[in-house]
Amino acid sequence: MDTHQKLDLLGQAASFDVCAPSGRSAAMARGCAEQPPDVRPYISHVQLPSGQKKPVLKVLLTSFCERNCHYCAFRAGRDLPRAAFTPDDLAAAFDQIQHQGLVQGLFLSSGVTGSVRTMDRMIATVEIVRQRYDYRGYIHLKILPDAEEAQIERAVRLADRVSVNLEAPNAERLATLAPRKEFGQGLMDPLRRAARAIARGQGRWAKLGLTTQFVVGAVGESDRELLTTTQRLYDELRLARAYFSGFSPIPDTPLEEHPPAPPARQHRLYQSDFLMRYYGFRFDEFIFDTEGSLPLNMDPKIAWAQAHPERFPMEVNRASKATLLRVPGIGPVSARRILQARQQSKLLFLSDLRKLGVVISRAAPYVLLNGKRPPLQLSLFA
């Protein structure tokens, strides 16, 4: 198997690592972002904290794996073509592709053939890219389960972003999803060590932070469980962000008869996560049903607003930024613009808000403008 064949095979295998939010289709749930169908399978697009998207070589070092995760396409014992790169060969392939202008970064993950041994080979690959080929651009490096502390510290020194995939929100769910992985020692401990190492680096190491990924809809976990764990990671580890990968059944796996996760569920989780990171919401403020599920037919911010009629309508000309961010249709950018604009004059009309970036169709029922309900709001309540 030549280099390009390996890149195709190991790039397709890497599609299960998510690196940009999506929620509109099962295909997007398994990949990184919208891509034309003729793009090489090993080129994906990562989304940076700035919102910028970069094309990257997204690839596994090897698709051989000793683990038997019940949802995974390349789980141990499954009959499929497999391949592996040496660190030298993969680093050389990346250097060539990068100099061709096809990619602007590297996203490296791997199957597990001995966690410590495989992690050493992944680190060696990145060291060659950084040192031999003098590459200073974007690298995202996966940290494998049970990685050693020295390996984790080296990883955060070399990469711009590192991640440990928890896959499930707690030990009970992980035991069903991936029985040969241990939630506490195998996954949470490396995640904590990575967070501590990044903090020691004072912004120089893994400067884009630490992420994790959950598989959604495979083993009965609720949205409440997922968001509870996500909130704890933000609070305790300063996690940069969480990704939610909608489950899609794979033939010849223990979960092949399990239904796929509704794309809308993944989308609502991403919306809720965004509210937690940028709007000041806490996980226990979201509206869940008796099963712990978010409503699929309603934006979680609107669901919250409808559950708190005592908070609305609120006066746009006096509200604090935190209060403005609770209004459907007002986001961080439009809230900031409102605060700036009302220093010059009062906001009197919906057209004033529209010019500032407010989504009027969402915001109108929840606001007052100089003590008055806007006309659109009156028609909506009629």
Dist CA 123 CA 121 (whole Å): 5
Alpha-carbon torsion (348, 353, 354, 358), positive or negative: negative
- What integer pLDDT is reported at residue 375 of this predicted model? 77
The residue type of 154 is: R
Establish if 188 belongs to a structural domain. Answer: yes
Q: What is the pLDDT of residue 19?
A: 59
Task: CATH number of the domain at 225, please.
Answer: 3.20.20.70
The DSSP result for 118-168, as a single string, is HHHHHHHHHHIIIIIS---SEEEEEPPTT--HHHHHHHHHH-SEEE---BS
Q: Indicate whether 267 belongs to any domain.
A: no
Given 195, 227, 261, the domain boundary residue is 261
**Per the domain annotation, does 145 fall within a domain?**
yes
**Which of these, 149, 215, 146, 210, lies nearest to 181 by C-alpha position?**
146
Chain center to CA of 242: 4
What is the predicted pLDDT for the residue at 28?
A: 33
Do 337 and 256 share a structural domain?
no
Given a contact cutoff of 8 angstroms between Cβ atoms, the answer to whether 58 and 14 are in contact is yes
Predicted pLDDT at 22: 52
**284: in domain:** no
Task: Write down the pTM of the prediction.
Answer: 0.90
pLDDT at 25: 35
Whether 248 and 372 map to the same domain: the answer is no
Which among 235, 164, 154, 152 is positioned nearest to 193, based on CA atoms? 152
pLDDT of residue 330: 97
Asked whether residue 206 falls in the same domain as residue 349, the answer is no
> CB under 8 Å to 299, separation ≥6 — which residues?
268, 271, 328
Pair 255, 336 in one domain: no
pLDDT at position 342, please?
95
> Same structural domain for residues 255 and 137?
yes
Residue 300 lies in a domain: no
Residue-number span of the structural domain to which 105 is assigned: 3-261
Q: Are both 242 and 327 inside the same structural domain?
A: no
Q: Are 45 and 33 in contact (CB under 8 A)?
A: yes
Q: CA 335, CA 134: separation in Å to the nearest integer?
A: 43
Q: Look at residue 270 and tell me if it is in a domain.
A: no
Residue 60, classed as helix, strand or coil, is: strand
Same domain? 237 vs 323: no
Q: For residue 27, is it within any domain?
A: yes
The conformation of residue 110, written as its DSSP 8-state character, comes to -
Residue 294 to residue 371: CA distance in whole angstroms: 33
CATH number of the domain encompassing residue 316: 1.10.150.320
Contact assessment for residue 152 and residue 192, using Cβ atoms and an 8 Å cutoff: no
- Sequence-separated (6 or more) residues with CB below 8 Å from residue 101: none
Q: What is the pLDDT along the chain (382 residues), one digit of tens a residue?
A: 889 899 999 998 887 776 556 544 333 333 343 444 446 889 988 888 878 889 999 999 999 999 989 999 889 888 889 999 999 999 999 999 999 999 999 999 999 999 999 999 999 999 999 999 999 999 999 999 999 999 999 999 999 999 999 999 999 999 999 999 999 999 999 999 999 999 999 889 999 999 999 999 999 999 999 999 999 999 999 999 999 999 999 999 999 999 999 999 999 999 999 999 999 999 999 999 999 999 999 999 999 999 999 999 999 999 999 999 999 999 999 999 999 999 999 999 999 999 999 999 999 999 999 999 987 554 444 3
What's the pLDDT at 93?
Answer: 97
The answer to whether residues 257 and 312 belong to one domain is: no
* pLDDT score of 105: 96
Look at residue 100 in the predicted model and tell me its pLDDT. 95
Same domain for 234 and 374, yes or no, is no
Q: Specify the pLDDT at position 278.
A: 95
Q: For residues 88 and 85, what is the distance between their CA atoms, to the nearest angstrom?
A: 8
pLDDT of residue 374: 86
Strands (E), the chain: 43-47, 53-60, 105-109, 138-142, 161-163, 210-216, 241-246, 314-315, 367-368
Give the C-alpha separation, 230 to 381, whole Å: 36
* Number of domains observed in the structure of the chain: 2
**Are 257 and 314 part of one and the same domain?**
no
**pLDDT computed for residue 376 by the predictor:** 59
- Kindly state whether residues 251 and 361 are assigned to the same domain: no
Question: CA of 13: how far to CAs of 41, 138, 340, in Å?
Answer: 9, 21, 48
Using CA atoms, how far apart are residues 223 and 243, in angstroms rounded to an integer?
13
Please check whether residue 282 lies inside any domain of the structure: no
Q: Are residues 248 and 337 in the same domain?
A: no
- Fill in the DSSP letter of residue 259: P
